[in-house]
Structure formats: structure tokens, C-alpha cells
């Protein structure tokens, strides 16, 4: 009877941790400090979901702050994968000029540095804020370049979506090629993975590939994705993001080609891809010796940091402290910046 009670208490505690997993007080402060001081590589982070909260608030009206706070609270309780995308639209309405983008990138770099991140690949889709896509790109690059130091290297990945227009894909590929020397290291396929058909922009993606661009793809975010194997075979990505709901063929392909998996644990729990940290397929793949990196996805949306994700991989994902540290140290080997590996 006592052991049943203990089990019950365990389940209740686990579900409480599930809800409050991003509250710092629930984490071991000493271990968190340990992960903070480790030099780390963050390889999966979207700019729109990563601006520091105090920076967003400095630009917001009271109504916008309340709206954002409300949406973040909903996310903390676990949101549907599709609903999570509405926050990006709100953030886009707040950070709506090139100057605000540049300052936001600078604030993000400072926050990453404070968390001990020494190398980051920031992802963003190009936007026209009134002065064209290239001006937006300049703003992001200026923000990054102003924060480069001996201990901090930021790089940029340009994002496209499965349903991006041909025109947008063409412009993005052109600019990615043009700005390689200034730190653009690849192309990401992201957005709602259940919308759109990659065929529309495939020729452009192939042109980028022929020009030497590397690809990372979001895959397995939803069991409703129909194009997994096709996407992998077409783009031969250097890394894959999430990989939670993989078809058997896609999973075999990723294992056969030893493609590192970017596991974003808190993100996957909060958008209800999985119920608990330990269920993430990245944990299982790690146990099989497959290369896995832990990433935040969107630190603002999921109230997380890379140090917290590593600690959670240890506390809730079942990795030993040494294993989590090893994963953190090896992440840089999977960067798209060829000068790093």
C-alpha cells in the first residue's frame, strides 16, 4: 500500500514538474550553474522566438505586454503545435523595424553569452519590413557582428518553409549565397510542417545545394507530415530538428546516414509532441550511440536556456551528468561552420 502511495506521489510530482518545468526554482541551482559555465554550442534557435523578454517589453505597449504574457502562460501549460505559431505573429508586430531587429539580435547575443553559449547558429526567415529582404538581413548581420568576440561566434541560417513561394525561395537562396562570407552558414526548412509541398521550391533548394549551401530540416514535428523521406533524400540535410514523429523509413534513413538530431526537449513537451522529457526519441537515439544535440528552439517562448535544457536532459531525460556534459561538448562538432569542425 505504501509503495502504491509512493508511486502515486511520484506521478503527481512528475506531472507538477511537467507544468512547472521551466521555473528555475524547480531545478538544481548548483548543477545549473555548472552547465552555465561550460562553453556550449546552440544549434537550433529561431530569432523570432528568442528575443529576451525584457527587450520585447521595452518595445511593447501595455496591451501587447498583456497579450504576450497571456500567450506565454498558455504555452507554459502546454499548447497545441499549431497554436504556438500565433506568438510569432505578435512578436513580429512588436519587433517591426530593422533597427529593432538589430538591437534585438544584440540583446539575444548578450543573453546567450551570459548563459555560456560560445557558438550559436541563429535561424530566421527573411522579412520585408519596408526596405526589402536584404535590409532585414543586413540588420541581423550587423547585430551579430557587433557582438563577435574571442569567446562568442554567432552564425546565421536562413529559414524557408515548405509552403514558401518560389519568389521568396529564390531571394533567400540568392542572399544566402551572397552573404556566406559574412556568416550565413545554411538554409533551414521550418514552419508548420503540415502545410505546403516542398516540390514548389525544390528547384531553388537544389540550386542552393549545388552552390554549396548546407541544409537543416524540421522533421517529425507532427505525425501528419507526408513528405519525410522525400525531404531527406532530396536535401540530404546535415542535421535534423526534432524528429519526434518519424516514419519508420525516415528514422532508418537518419540512423543509416548518422545525421545528428537536434532535440529540443522543453519545446517538444510544451507543444505536446511528447508528454514527458524521457519520451523524446532523441534520448533513445542517444542511448543507441546516435549523434544528438540539445537545443532550445525558442528560449522566449519556452522560458528556457541551453544550460536548462542540458540540466533537464539530465534530471528528467535520464542522462547522467557526465553524459549531458559530453553532449554539450560535442555539439560544436556538428556546426555548419566548416571552420569549426
On whether the CB atoms of residues 331 and 41 are closer than 8 A, the answer is: yes
Piece in contact with Zn ion (CB under 5 A), picked from 124-132, 197-205, 252-260, 293-301: 293-301
Site for Zn ion in 215-234 (CB under 5 A): none
Among 33-41, 86-94, 292-300, 317-325, the segment contacting Zn ion (CB under 5 A): 292-300
Assigned C-alpha cell, 316? 528528467
Nearer to Zn ion, 45 or 109 (CB): 45
Contact 236, 256 (CB under 8 A): no
Which residue, 225 or 297, has its beta carbon nearer to Zn ion? Answer: 297
DSSP H/E element including 44: strand 40-46
Q: Which is nearer to Zn ion, 78 or 212 (CB)?
A: 78
* Contact string (CB under 5 A) for Zn ion, positions 28-67, x = contact: ----------------------------------------
In the complex, least distance from residue 84 CB atom to Zn ion, rounded to whole angstroms: 10
Decide: is 297 part of the binding site for Zn ion (CB under 5 A).
yes
Task: Give the span between the Cα atoms of 297 and 146, in whole angstroms.
Answer: 23
Report in angstroms how near the CB of residue 188 gets to Zn ion at its nearest: 8
Of residues 297 and 309, the one with the C-beta less far from Zn ion: 297
Q: Which is nearer to Zn ion, 95 or 271 (CB)?
A: 271
Among 20-28, 114-122, 194-202, 296-304, the segment contacting Zn ion (CB under 5 A): 296-304
Would you call 50 helix, strand, or coil by DSSP? coil
Is 231 strand, coil or helix?
helix
**C-alpha cell belonging to residue 32:** 545549473
For the bound state, the minimum distance from the C-beta of residue 2 to Zn ion, rounded and expressed in Å, comes to: 44
Q: How crowded is the C-beta side of 18, counted as CA atoms within 13 Å?
A: 20
Given a contact cutoff of 8 angstroms between Cβ atoms, the answer to whether 310 and 263 are in contact is no
Least distance from C-beta 7 to Zn ion, angstroms?
Answer: 35
How many residues sit close enough to Zn ion to count as binding (CB under 5 A)? 1
Closest alpha carbon to 309 in 78, 32, 51, 116? 32
CB of 68 to Zn ion, least distance (A): 19
C-alpha distance from residue 272 to each of 68, 161, 244 (Å): 20, 21, 11
Question: What gap in Å lies between CA 337 and CA 341, rounded to an integer?
Answer: 7
To the nearest 10 degrees (0 to 180), the angle between helices 199-210 and 166-178 is: 10
Alpha carbons within 13 angstroms on the beta-carbon side of residue 67 total 14
Which of these ranges, 76-84, 139-147, 295-303, 307-315, lies near Zn ion under the rule CB under 5 A?
295-303
Least distance in angstroms from the C-beta of 216 to Zn ion: 9
Question: Nearer Cβ to Zn ion, position 297 or 315?
Answer: 297
Residue nearest to Zn ion (CB): 297
Is 121 within 8 Å of 157 (Cβ atoms)?
Answer: yes
Rounded Cα distance, 51 and 45, in Å: 10
Whole-number minimum distance, CB 295 to Zn ion, in Å? 8
Give the interface segment with Zn ion, choosing from 113-121, 130-138, 197-205, 289-297 (CB under 5 A).
289-297
The length of the chain in residues reads: 341
CB of 30 to Zn ion, least distance (A): 30
For residues 14 and 90, which CB has a smaller minimum distance to Zn ion in the complex? 90
Task: Report in angstroms how near the CB of residue 58 gets to Zn ion at its nearest.
Answer: 25
Query: For binding to Zn ion (CB under 5 A), which residues are involved?
Result: 297
Amino acid at each position: 500500500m505504501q509503495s502504491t502511495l509512493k508511486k502515486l506521489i511520484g506521478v503527481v510530482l512528475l506531472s507538477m514538474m511537467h507544468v512547472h518545468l521551466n521555473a528555475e526554482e524547480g531545478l538544481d541551482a548548483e548543477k545549473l550553474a555548472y552547465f552555465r559555465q561550460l562553453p556550449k554550442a546552440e544549434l537550433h534557435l529561431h530569432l523570432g522566438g528568442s528575443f529576451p523578454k525584457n527587450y520585447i517589453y521595452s518595445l511593447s505597449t501595455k496591451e501587447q505586454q498583456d497579450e504576450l504574457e497571456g500567450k506565454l502562460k498558455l504555452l507554459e501549460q502546454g499548447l497545441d503545435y499549431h497554436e504556438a505559431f500565433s506568438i510569432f505573429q505578435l512578436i513580429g508586430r512588436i519587433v517591426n523595424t530593422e533597427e529593432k531587429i538589430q538591437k534585438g539580435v544584440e540583446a539575444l547575443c548578450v543573453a546567450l553569452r551570459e548563459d555560456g553559449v560560445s557558438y550559436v547558429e541563429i535561424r530566421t526567415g527573411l522579412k520585408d519590413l519596408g526596405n526589402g529582404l536584404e535590409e532585414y538581413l543586413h540588420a541581423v548581420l550587423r547585430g551579430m557582428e557587433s557582438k563577435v568576440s574571442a569567446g562568442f561566434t554567432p552564425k546565421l541560417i536562413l529559414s524557408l518553409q515548405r509552403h514558401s513561394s518560389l519568389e521568396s525561395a529564390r531571394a533567400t537562396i540568392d542572399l544566402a549565397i551572397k552573404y556566406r562570407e559574412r556568416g550565413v552558414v545554411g538554409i533551414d526548412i521550418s514552419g508548420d510542417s503540415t502545410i505546403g509541398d516542398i516540390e514548389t521550391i525544390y528547384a531553388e533548394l537544389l540550386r542552393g545545394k549545388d552552390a554549396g549551401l548546407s541544409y537543416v530540416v524540421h522533421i517529425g514535428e507532427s505525425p501528419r507530415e507526408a513528405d519525410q523521406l522525400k525531404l531527406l533524400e532530396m536535401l540530404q540535410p546535415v542535421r535534423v530538428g526534432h524528429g519526434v514523429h518519424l516514419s519508420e523509413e525516415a528514422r532508418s534513413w537518419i540512423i543509416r546516414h548518422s545525421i545528428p538530431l537536434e532535440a529540443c526537449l522543453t519545446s517538444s513537451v510544451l507543444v505536446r509532441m511528447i508528454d514527458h522529457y524521457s519520451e523524446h526519441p532523441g534520448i533513445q537515439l542517444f542511448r543507441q550511440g546516435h549523434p544528438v544535440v540539445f537545443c532550445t528552439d525558442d528560449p522566449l517562448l519556452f522560458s528556457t536556456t541551453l544550460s536548462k535544457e542540458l540540466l533537464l536532459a539530465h534530471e528528467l531525460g535520464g542522462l547522467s551528468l557526465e553524459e549531458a556534459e559530453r553532449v554539450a561538448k560535442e555539439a560544436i562538432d556538428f556546426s555548419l561552420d566548416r571552420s569549426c569542425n
